Structure 1
């Protein structure tokens, strides 16, 4: 396992020791479900004055549990049935912690193979028997999807992600997954971007056996629009991008893709072309697919779109980043520890916490 400045091994060992006795008790008992611990709606990483944490939040933004993390977190994956979460390091990182959210015990510490790094995201299969993790080969940033069985969290296989620098992955019906291959080759030590002149991001659809079923690329003039994050709509996928080209050029940061067809890019209204400062940090869609939300921490905005990609609203608040859907609306988090409900009319305060929320708010509802 490669060392990482973001992932001190001693820090992981300290957390593992603190959780050891709780872990012994936890593994001997039947696993609790999410309803047994209050039915959290979201998972969110954050930073407090004393360190890094993973919270389980209600739909109103109140915390039901908090578990310490060894270093800055990024996204988490929630088991579909059990109150189990896998917290991933901010990319590129080498920790993936399997957490019993009922007891706070760290059940397993995932380690990518030598020369690999986790890339911030993962997803469980529908039955919870398999965890799939977004990874890169450290030298060259070739993408891999790691497969881990979830009885003992042993790595059992890996797939080619279909591109360079995979980040977000989502599960589709029938065991298929879609991968956001960001296209950026990075230095494994300091994350310097090495191939901006030649990058080619793509969306890759993989079968339940890891076979490439379909792939979508951006037009040549927008190949520096790194595809980063995903949200699912009925029959299509919404994707969020981060522009690595000329900052003076306004580009769409939202796209829609129905496999079997070309990707459709969705620019905002002209008045808001520069509002997100070329950076879409998180994306979410309501379960019916009729509304999409896109956030930008650098821009301090959340934009709303309809299912066709037409902008319907834009609201401002400093350092908005995490977003997830609940019912027919959205919840967003910001760097000051606040959670907000989002509607076309504006933002409504839900809760405040003494921490800084990190990039993502992960929903625990249907995939």
Structure 2
């Protein structure tokens, strides 16, 4: 477990770092990993208008990235289960550091910064026990690992920083091991949860699903300004079950699950790929690349707008709704319909679109 002294040391060291900003990398609004026409992979910065501000090569397929809150720096994670993550200097256009998971650990594809951007938190698996861990890395010390804390669950995938440096962690409940690739090792006993932690490891709150939904893996997260967390799920049970794939939660309350009609839920094929809440907090959306669907729900009334697009997955808030990406090179504006912002058939966008700021 990290010590308070470790956090204070990182904060002090941060004062000596150069004060570059995202403007030095072209002021991107979003980060996304993609495969190009050449078959090579990159981390790409996009403006709000979908113009490309930079592209930095990656050695393999990326999954998601953690954007530093002020410096032009991002941590790109390998598709899980992976054992490395790359710190990208987005202004200079090169890899600044390579993070290796400690022996007996692997990354789950997501991370977040806390303590004013001085500490990187990474979701990890303890391969021996299957228990979830959050790795802690000091940016001012060249991303030196300074400790880890428990997530109080199995298979932590996504995590978010909330106000007050509270971490929301999606414990998917699924145990994996790099020796078996992406094989799911405990489906009959899986128990997903949403945990709220301090970076020092104190469990503040935890939400679990009803027993009949214990195979609904909590995977990805988004947060509103009022502290509401949206969680997207992936069903691991029988294929055609019309289960809800979206939940909303605020600490101290019960979760609220949202769903479209049964036919639409079945069309999602049990798979929500990304989730986002609009900047004004009024709408929340989930995508399904398998179902070619984007469901946008009103938070107040739960009314669902259904939009269709093959292989749509990446989703992030924008000034007038959302921005989405797909596996065919499309970048889309989402209001009550889909409108193209950019199209590059040679590009296959990966699962997530990360908003900066």
- Given the two structures, how large is their TM-score scaled by the length of structure 2? 0.91
Structure 2 match to 1:342: 334
Structure 1 match to 2:213: 222
Structure 1 match to 2:7: none
- 1:91 counterpart SS class: coil
Between 1:182-191 and 1:199-208, the stretch displaced more is 182-191
Structure 2 match to 1:41: 29
- 1:71 counterpart SS class: coil
Runs of 4+ in 1 over 4 A off after TM superposition: none
Shift of 1:120: 0.3
Mapped partners of 2:236, 2:301: distance in 1:
22
- Match runs of 1:299-338 below 5 Å: 299-308=291-300, 310-338=302-330
Contact 1:254 1:309 in 2 (8 A): no
Mapped partners of 2:125, 2:280: distance in 1:
33
Shift of 1:262: 1.7
Alignment CA distance shift 1:90-1:250 (3 Å): same
- Given the two structures, how large is their TM-score scaled by the length of structure 1? 0.89
- Match runs of 1:111-126 below 5 Å: 111-125=100-114
Contact 2:137 2:146 in 1 (8 A): yes
Contact 2:287 2:312 in 1 (8 A): yes
Mapped partners of 1:295, 1:139: distance in 2:
33
Contact 1:140 1:186 in 2 (8 A): no
Mapped partners of 1:146, 1:29: distance in 2:
22
Question: 1:179-206: CA deviations, max 9, x gaps?
Answer: 0000001232222111111100000000
Structure 2 match to 1:51: 40
Shift of 1:208: 3.7
Structure 1 match to 2:355: 363
For the pair 1:272 / 2:264, whether they are aligned, the reply is yes
Match of 1:205 among 196, 213, 229: 196
Mapped partners of 1:52, 1:66: distance in 2:
9
Between 1:262-271 and 1:66-75, the stretch displaced more is 262-271
Between 1:121-130 and 1:82-91, the stretch displaced more is 121-130
Shift of 1:32: 2.2
Structure 2 match to 1:184: 174
Shift of 1:272: 1.8
State the superposition RMSD in angstroms: 1.5
Alignment CA distance shift 1:128-1:187 (3 Å): closer
Shift of 1:37: 2.4
Mapped partners of 2:187, 2:287: distance in 1:
23
Match of 1:287 among 279, 283, 286: 279
Structure 2 match to 1:263: 255
- Match runs of 1:84-95 below 5 Å: 84-95=73-84
Contact 1:196 1:224 in 2 (8 A): yes
Mapped partners of 1:314, 1:182: distance in 2:
26
Structure 2 match to 1:21: none
Between 1:222-231 and 1:118-127, the stretch displaced more is 118-127
Shift of 1:140: 4.2
Structure 2 match to 1:80: 69
Mapped partners of 2:301, 2:286: distance in 1:
11
Shift of 1:105: 2.1
Question: 1:11-59: CA deviations, max 9, x gaps?
Answer: xxxxxxxxxxxxxxxxx99352112222100000011224111000011
Structure 2 match to 1:19: none
Mapped partners of 2:244, 2:223: distance in 1:
19
